[in-house]
Amino acid sequence: MPSGSHGPSECGIRIADCEGAGETEKKIFLRFTDSFFWKLDWRSRMFHILLVEDNGHFRKILKQELSHWFPSVLIEEASDSQEAMEKMESFHPRLIFMDIRLPGESGFELTKKIRGKHPTSDVVMLTSHDLPEYRQAAMECGASHFFVKGTSDGMEIRSLIESLLKG
């Protein structure tokens, strides 16, 4: 395994900043029963997720993982703040995964705008830097969750989405 990479977590995948990650880290080993998908399927058809991340490789891996876990959920992507705001108006996501460092304005500023216009959308801040001041700023801007790339695992993200799907 390449140095600095992370192996699979207990649920099968570790969300990591995927630059330089090997194929092993990118594979998904999750096993779900058909009944699990059937129970969530009717709720997930109307559930929309927006990924706001300037790292195209990380965004692609995260989208693949989310699509695997929740195949009926609709997922859109944005690489900067302008594209994100356009997608907010046309796509109306329930959940937004937001990188902190974006071209244009920061994820903090964008989260404030989104929460002001779309108060029912949940924002999950994503960052490679687990700094107390980032956590504080994320909460002050209206983010409901804070995940650190490389230390947050798939189970945390899956549990969050399942709880939102259940209502």
Query: Which residue is associated with the tokens 């990118």?
Result: 26
Output the CA torsion 134→65→80→93 (10° steps): -90
The whole-angstrom separation of Cα 102 and Cα 152 is: 20
Contact 49, 94 (CB under 8 A): yes
Cβ atoms within 10 Å of 16's Cβ, excluding its own? 23
Work out the pLDDT band at 37, boundaries 50, 70, 90: very low
The more confident residue out of 86 and 150 is 86
Domain boundaries, the chain: 45-166
Two tokens at 148? 């650190």
Q: What is the mean pLDDT of residues 124-149?
A: 94
Confidence band for 45, pLDDT divided at 50, 70 and 90: low
Q: What is the mean pLDDT of the chain?
A: 78
pLDDT, one tens digit per residue, over 74-105 is 999 999 999 999 999 999 999 999 999 999 89
Rounded mean pLDDT of 56-84? 94
Rounded Cα distance between 92 and 106, Å, is 20
| pLDDT given at position 155 | 86
Extract the tokens encoding 26: 């990118």
For 10, residues 6+ apart whose C-beta sits below 8 A from its C-beta are 153, 155
pTM of the model: 0.74
The structural architecture, per CATH, of the domain 45-166 is 3-Layer(aba) Sandwich (3.40)
Residue 26 has pLDDT above 70, yes or no: no
> The tokens 């692609």 sit on which residue?
60
Share of the chain above pLDDT 90, in %: 61
